[in-house]
Amino acid sequence: MKLNPQKPYALILLLFLCSSTFYSCKEDGLVDSKHDPSKTTVFSDFSPRTGAVRTRLYIYGDNFGTDISLIRVYIGDKEIKVVGANGKQIYCWVPGQTATGKVRVVINETSGKVEHTFEDLFTYTNSTTVGTLLGNVDELGNSSIVDGAFEEARFSYPGWVSYEPETNVLFVTELDRAVRRVDLNNRTVSTLVTNGQASFTKMQTTTLSANKDTLFLGDDNANVTARTKVAVAYTLRSENYRRVHPYIYDPACFSTAPHPVTNEMFYNGFQGVSIKKAIPDPVTGDLNPKLLFLVGGSTNSNSLIFFHPTGNYAYIVMPTRIYKSIYNWNTRELEPPILFAGSATAGDVDAIGTSARIRKAYQGVFVKNPAYAGQADEYDYYFCDQTNQSIRILTPTGVVTTFAGKGSPTPDGSVRGYIDGDPRTEARFADPSGIDYDPVRKIFYIAERDNKRIRTITAE
């Protein structure tokens, strides 16, 4: 049978009209109206009885009204988001970290309050879900640096993210462009530093100090050997991160890594993939670079340094390889590393050690794993594999697995895209490169270069 090309569009239009009945259809007695306090409000049922984060919960009855600002819904003591109401149904979304409990509905009118608690419980199930925090693009996929509320803020090239727990703020590095401040409490975005400040050439990364009061900025200053430009700068919380100061002059820097205990500064250079430490001059007090070692031979490339929370070691990340460098507490220096995972050959293989294949590793973060309690190392390392469009995990024993991304591939096998949902069966990314973690709320924040968004992974 040959399909009429007009029918799919007619079907889509029909589905749209039908779906809109939840809010505006007056058929079947679903008449939009205000709650009438002179009439009895009926609470008949709710569904489903079980669900995870982002579950759509429906409450059924009569005389609810349509003004959702007057309607509050709770599961136990946790208030959940009311999305819509049409008088006979209330439509809600279940947020993360909700506990199992009774469903309670409160309708507040100036003339009084109506309240009902269902006897049956809503059972909350833990899950891990990929979502979108903020950022959007135009119809051609373009965006730019736009400050403001979450609903209007935009990003141009977000590639690195640092989470500050004290104020619940994200610092997002727009590669080669700017540093943005994302206020998670007030849901606003502002620009702190632009590429032209402090003679920046190409800002690469932003890293918080161990005491979280200083933000270090690494700059690819285009120098190869000359120490004439700032390689690392810093900005202070006490100055609202608005003033930029030079920290050390050196050739190009791609990442900074303050030691989490001593706060000594380690950073990397471009030429020969050099790993360096900033050493104070005993006379002037100025910081000078000390070359510790080269990584991966003499090939010029970029690398990134990430300290374990204990300070006992650091991972040195190159595109297809992850090295492990032990911190010597006597010399207070990183020692020449061993290849821990991946190889010189790019690929996408979950395996142990050098049998694993990585295509383009970028930012990573250590996250405590309760299953490792009491062991010598209690942390997994989550990292972005940018061109494999995924978030991967490296365990303390060297096992690499895929945590999120590459879900619901297209018919031609593409796993690149923009889809929220289950981390492995639905979610898709487009060049994820920045990642950090809020251990209190159990949320990963991910900066995507190509989607130009900040995504989240809520892990429960």
Query: Which residues fall within 8 angstroms of residue 247, CB to CB, at 6 or more apart?
Result: 216, 230, 232, 233, 234, 265, 278, 287
Query: How confident is residue 448, by pLDDT bands cut at 50, 70 and 90?
Result: very high
Residue 162 confidence (pLDDT) above 80 = yes
Predicted local distance difference test score (pLDDT) of residue 218: 93
- Other residues' Cβ atoms within 10 Å of the Cβ of residue 318: 22
Residue 272 confidence (pLDDT) above 70 = no
Which candidate, 246, 172, 155, 248, places its Cα nearest to that of 208? 172
Predicted local distance difference test score (pLDDT) of residue 110: 67
| Cis previous bond, 260, omega within 30 | no
Over its C-alpha atoms, the chain yields an Rg (Å, rounded) of: 26
Q: What is the DSSP string of 164-189?
A: ETTTTEEEEEETTTEEEEEETTTTEE
Query: How confident is residue 90, by pLDDT bands cut at 50, 70 and 90?
Result: very high
Lowest mean pLDDT among 83-97, 257-271, 289-303, 428-442: 289-303
Mean pLDDT of 413-429: 93
Could you tell me which residues are beta bridge partners of residue 188?
149, 183
Q: Which domains does the chain have, with CATH numbers?
A: 22-124 (2.60.40.10), 128-459 (2.120.10.30)
DSSP H/E element including 14: helix 7-19
The CA distance from 193 to 183, in Å, is 15
Mean pLDDT score of the chain, rounded to an integer? 89
Identity (one letter) of the amino acid at 277? Answer: K
Query: How confident is residue 4, by pLDDT bands cut at 50, 70 and 90?
Result: very low
Residue 460 confidence (pLDDT) above 80 = no
Joined together, the tokens standing for residue 259 give: 């030691």
DSSP 154: B
- The tens digit of pLDDT for each residue in 277-299 reads 999 999 988 999 999 999 876 55
Contact between 176 and 159 (Cβ < 8 Å)? no
Identity (one letter) of the amino acid at 260? Answer: P
DSSP 325: E
Predicted local distance difference test score (pLDDT) of residue 15: 42
Query: How confident is residue 408, by pLDDT bands cut at 50, 70 and 90?
Result: confident
Which candidate, 273, 262, 272, places its Cα nearest to that of 328? 262
The CA distance from 158 to 257, in Å, is 20
Alpha helices in 83-210 (DSSP H): none
